[in-house]
Amino acid sequence: MNKDPQLCPLRGRDRELAVLSERLAALAGGRGSTVVVTGAPGTGKSRLLLEAERLSRPYGLRVLRVSGEPDAAVMPGEGLLRALLAGPEPVLDAARARALATRPDHRYWLLQEVQEGLERVAARRPVLLLVDDLQWCDDLTMLALRALPGRLAGVAITWLFAGRPGDDNAGYTETRARLEASGATTVRLDRLDDDAAAQMARDVLGDEASLAVLALVGGAGNNPLLISELLSGIRGEGRTDLPARFGTLVGRRLGRLTPDGRAVLEVAAVLSRRIDVPFLGAVLRRPPATLVTPLREAQVEDLVHTDEQDLVFRHDLIREAVRATVPAAVSRAIRREAADLAAEFGHSPAEVAALLTDSAEPGDEEAVATLRRAAAELALGAPSRAADLSRRALALTAEYSPAHRAITVETIRLLWLAGRAAEATALGHTLLVDGIDSATEASARLGLAAASSQYSFAEAVLQCEIAVGSAALPLAGRAQALALMGVNLTMMGDFDRADEVLGRALAAAAAAGDDGARAVGLASSSVSALYHHRWQQAVELADEAVALSRTVRSDQILWGAVQWRSWLDSLGGRPDRALQSAAEGMRTAQHDGQAWLVRQWSLDRCRLLYDAGRLADAQAEAEGVLAMADELGAGNYADCTALTIAARVALHTGDLAAAHRYDAEAERMRTDRAPLVRRAGAWLGVLVAVAHSRSPARIRELLVQGAAAIGSVGPALGTPVDPADDVTFVRIAVAIGEPDWAERAVTVAEKRAAANPGFPFLAATADHARGLLAGDSDRISDAIEIYRQFPRSLPLAAALEDLAATTGEQSRPALEEALSLYESTGAIRDAARVRSALRKVGVRWRGTRSSSRPGDRWSLLTATEAAVVEKVAAGATNRQVATAMFLSPHTVSTHLRHAFSKLDINSRVELARLFAQRT
């Protein structure tokens, strides 16, 4: 009658199973979803996943299994890759996946590859992706698992995660928060109810389940694992007076092993959950053949079982209980020795490091060396884990030694790569800034500068200063450090120092014959020229920098001259030209496989699309690139472009809640170390405050920084400058009763326009600003005439509105034109404002162009959305669409999400059906 509890039906989880059945059936119909199962160890999470798999069989779904391993010794991404490379039709091509591991932007490309693979597989057959022990998945797997469900929304995949409720590691906490934020359903497994617990007892013991047993089961706190352990004990020992404590129960089983079996299992438990038999033999110094008997005993006692080909502890709590019987000092000694053997065994440094992190003692130089090697190896794929290992190496090294300094620098760099900016900066401050004495450290500082320059301009300047200050830095390194320092100084807003540094950079680059550094120096000089109101010179310098950078190998480009050149087009009123270069640049970056450059172009495109008045496209680009923060990090540059534009688009479209959210994020800009970033943050705050009708005092407080900066070199408001912002500034300054500020802004705009006759767009904004301040309709009309030569509808529409406000009766045609411009850009909130002005001059009603027959939701799509949808409906994957349209795949997935919500559908299957009905 007695049965193994493992083979018994699942009890007390009917509600949870109903949720899963419903999701699986929906998945069979093409609609995916995300479910997170949490519960303390032993509540039956893994068992629930097994049930889900059983319930999925009738539908013929493709099932993929990922599971985390507690010993963290795996290579980055291994958890995920093992699942994706398995089976007769693997999701990923093994050779391709291996090739990706060696690329510098490893994480980015791997995620692309995985996303593409899953899309392809799910298009043929819905996918059930089971992830057990999420809390133990490696960094890279975790990264993919938190990013992909959102990016693959609409694809027929159901993500079923199981993990512990605790938050012992940051990556896990973030992953759960992200999954929850993107709409995952959480299923919490609690203790069983009494009926279910009694039912379990009857399942195992049959009718023999006496009252005494039921009382014992009740004492087990109704934890299913403990109950099943208890029942096995009762069955095995034939007595019912067992203690309801897990460790004791496991201890009793251990006691039934022979001394040899017990010793072997204890060492195995100290090493890992998954038992590597040859390695265990090596640690025990005995041939693997002699392990057969003791391991079989453990299997008979059901302490370990086989999982695929491996021997594994049946539950991690069992392993923990066995390990707890070994004194900590002994356990450490075993792991330390195992680390040496692992190296001889050809295990990767990462695996060796995992054994070392908790076993090595301070001063263990060999351990330190291994940890550093492992950190270096993991730097690209799993920088966060690499940084942890490096920190561990640091902790084992004597302070004030040269090695300690070197490891500190390495650790800081890894922290930057991992996007852990605060830790990186804090650790940086523990280093004395003076006294670099080695070429290695100087070069390391240069690497630090390059790593931090996308994230913190101020930090990059500091690191360049330190590198340049060292006599040990070689000439080429000096040229690069100076050039990079110049770039970051211009981004910070310190133009006096930038000019001085750039002079030295160009001289050093010439002396070293380093064209890469020279191109960067020239491009930064162009930035400086622009902000000194010498636009023509800025263009010439940028052209020279572009020509030069074409002769440099693409992986040696430190900063994009080509990008800056395209910015100049847009600032001068020609975002259309800038977008052409961006398309070209994106194509090259995709072709060369340079992820940071793809991201860089994507960041730039946010602003270029906004300047071009393509609000929906700008929004999609911004959301897409903000999502890339997962694999490529966020920072100053992204804040000044993508975050700012996302907020500004929201203001135009009237999504004030979103604008408010982005503005809250922009708080970090307002406290940044770089003045330009602070000002850009404050300016964004002003725009959002105005939209929320905050008090003039509050607006003044935010605007005062920008007002003070007007007339000095460099952008006073957003970064890079937008001449059209000056007009907005004047409007706000007048409204809050600061005419002096407005007057100063107009004077500066006029001076800039006069100094640059070759850039008529500047004259338009100057005329517009002056006309607005003086209530001079002729000046505004002049501005309008010039604006008409440029493809920037939003400033033109604003000027038409301002003209209407000064002309009274004849305002109607201007308002109507403004309305039509706002409608064509998607600026719904501005359009509403103009419509209300039109009503005041007697125009009662005017239909919008988007109101077409009801049910025709297709007309709501923008041109880009329609193009994306058409390709996806025809079966293309996001990446194929991205390649065809010169977009990043993230942007494609954002467009698709927007289109889905407009079409009111949730899955690609529905899209295909809808599309088929339409044509």
Partner 1 sequence: MNHPKPTVVLVLGAFTDASSFARIVPELLDAGIPVLAPPVSLRSLVRDAAAAATATIPGDRSA
Instruction: Give the 3-state secondary structure of residue 130.
Output: strand
Per CB under 8 A, the segment of 55-63, 338-346, 602-610, 835-843 that binds partner 1 is: 55-63
Does 21 bind partner 1 (CB under 8 A)? Our answer is yes
Does 395 bind partner 1 (CB under 8 A)? Our answer is no
- What are the beta bridge partners of residue 310? 307
Instruction: Give the 3-state secondary structure of residue 161.
Output: strand
What is the DSSP-derived secondary structure letter of residue 640? I
Tokens of 553: 């190998």
Q: Work out which of 24, 393, 418, 669 binds partner 1, going by CB under 8 A.
A: 24
Q: C-beta of 55: minimal distance to partner 1 in Å?
A: 6
Order of strands across the sheet that contains 304-307 = 274-275, 310-313, 304-307
Say how far apart CA 508 and CA 478 lie, in whole Å: 7
Q: C-beta of 316: minimal distance to partner 1 in Å?
A: 26
Q: C-beta of 127: minimal distance to partner 1 in Å?
A: 12
What are the two backbone dihedrals, phi and then psi, of residue 191, each rounded to the nearest 5 degrees?
Answer: -65, 155
Q: C-beta of 91: minimal distance to partner 1 in Å?
A: 14
Contact call for residues 96 and 113 (beta carbons, < 8 A): yes
Q: Work out which of 28, 303, 322, 684 binds partner 1, going by CB under 8 A.
A: 28
Interacting residues with partner 1 between 191 and 210 (CB under 8 A): none
Which ranges in 692-792 belong to alpha helices (H)? 696-709, 723-735, 739-755, 760-774, 777-787
Closer to partner 1 by Cβ: residue 86 or 885: 86
Q: C-beta of 23: minimal distance to partner 1 in Å?
A: 8
Per CB under 8 A, the segment of 26-34, 454-462, 493-501, 821-829 that binds partner 1 is: 26-34
Contact call for residues 386 and 408 (beta carbons, < 8 A): no
Order of strands across the sheet that contains 33-39 = 62-67, 127-132, 157-163, 33-39, 185-189
Tokens of 316: 């991690």
Q: Work out which of 30, 477, 585, 685 binds partner 1, going by CB under 8 A.
A: 30
Closer to partner 1 by Cβ: residue 53 or 576: 53
Q: Work out which of 29, 183, 287, 363 binds partner 1, going by CB under 8 A.
A: 29
Q: C-beta of 49: minimal distance to partner 1 in Å?
A: 15
Per CB under 8 A, the segment of 13-21, 262-270, 297-305, 317-325 that binds partner 1 is: 13-21
Distance of CA 620 to the CA centre of its chain: 16
Q: C-beta of 352: minimal distance to partner 1 in Å?
A: 37
Contact call for residues 859 and 852 (beta carbons, < 8 A): yes
Examine residue 720 and say whether the peptide bond preceding it is cis (omega within 30 degrees of 0): yes
# binding residues, partner 1 (CB under 8 A): 25
Closer to partner 1 by Cβ: residue 55 or 439: 55
Closer to partner 1 by Cβ: residue 87 or 287: 87
Does 916 bind partner 1 (CB under 8 A)? Our answer is yes
- Nearest one of 308, 559, 328 to 450, comparing CA atoms: 559
Interacting residues with partner 1 between 262 and 321 (CB under 8 A): none
Closer to partner 1 by Cβ: residue 195 or 365: 195
Closer to partner 1 by Cβ: residue 125 or 533: 125
Closer to partner 1 by Cβ: residue 59 or 345: 59
| Rg value, the chain, Cα | 32
Does 345 bind partner 1 (CB under 8 A)? Our answer is no
- One symbol per residue from 60 to 99: x for binding partner 1 (CB under 8 A), - otherwise; what is it? x-xx-----------------------x------------
Say how far apart CA 919 and CA 898 lie, in whole Å: 21
Q: Classify burial at 762, counting beta carbons within 10 Å of its beta carbon; exposed 0-12, middle 13-18, buried 19 or more.
A: buried
Closer to partner 1 by Cβ: residue 329 or 916: 916
Closer to partner 1 by Cβ: residue 88 or 847: 88
Q: Work out which of 17, 214, 395, 774 binds partner 1, going by CB under 8 A.
A: 17
Say how far apart CA 87 and CA 308 lie, in whole Å: 13
Q: C-beta of 561: minimal distance to partner 1 in Å?
A: 52
Does 915 bind partner 1 (CB under 8 A)? Our answer is no
Contacts of 285 (CB under 8 A, 6+ apart): none
Does 54 bind partner 1 (CB under 8 A)? Our answer is yes
Distance of CA 475 to the CA centre of its chain: 36
Per CB under 8 A, the segment of 53-61, 107-115, 432-440, 707-715 that binds partner 1 is: 53-61
Closer to partner 1 by Cβ: residue 121 or 730: 121
Q: C-beta of 195: minimal distance to partner 1 in Å?
A: 17
Q: Work out which of 11, 13, 31, 898 binds partner 1, going by CB under 8 A.
A: 31
Closer to partner 1 by Cβ: residue 23 or 478: 23
Q: C-beta of 269: minimal distance to partner 1 in Å?
A: 32
Exposure string (b/e) for 1-34, b if CB count within 10 Å is 16 or more?
eeeebeeeebbbbeebeebbeebbebbbebbbbb
- Nearest one of 258, 284, 257, 262 to 271, comparing CA atoms: 284
Neighbours of 885 (CB within 10 A): 17
Contact call for residues 153 and 78 (beta carbons, < 8 A): no
Say how far apart CA 241 and CA 614 lie, in whole Å: 75
Q: C-beta of 366: minimal distance to partner 1 in Å?
A: 47
Say how far apart CA 872 and CA 881 lie, in whole Å: 7
Contact call for residues 518 and 508 (beta carbons, < 8 A): no
Say how far apart CA 859 and CA 321 lie, in whole Å: 63
Q: C-beta of 125: minimal distance to partner 1 in Å?
A: 8
Per CB under 8 A, the segment of 16-24, 73-81, 266-274, 644-652 that binds partner 1 is: 16-24
Q: C-beta of 207: minimal distance to partner 1 in Å?
A: 21
Q: Work out which of 4, 6, 22, 358 binds partner 1, going by CB under 8 A.
A: 22
Interacting residues with partner 1 between 99 and 158 (CB under 8 A): 125-126
Q: C-beta of 309: minimal distance to partner 1 in Å?
A: 17
Closer to partner 1 by Cβ: residue 437 or 904: 904
Does 326 bind partner 1 (CB under 8 A)? Our answer is no
Tokens of 383: 């920088």
- Nearest one of 247, 257, 233 to 315, comparing CA atoms: 247
Closer to partner 1 by Cβ: residue 23 or 835: 23
Q: C-beta of 14: minimal distance to partner 1 in Å?
A: 9
- Nearest one of 748, 665, 741, 672 to 703, comparing CA atoms: 741
Q: C-beta of 130: minimal distance to partner 1 in Å?
A: 13
Q: What residue ranges bind partner 1 (CB under 8 A)?
A: 9, 17-18, 21-22, 24-26, 28-31, 54-55, 57-60, 62-63, 87, 125-126, 913, 916
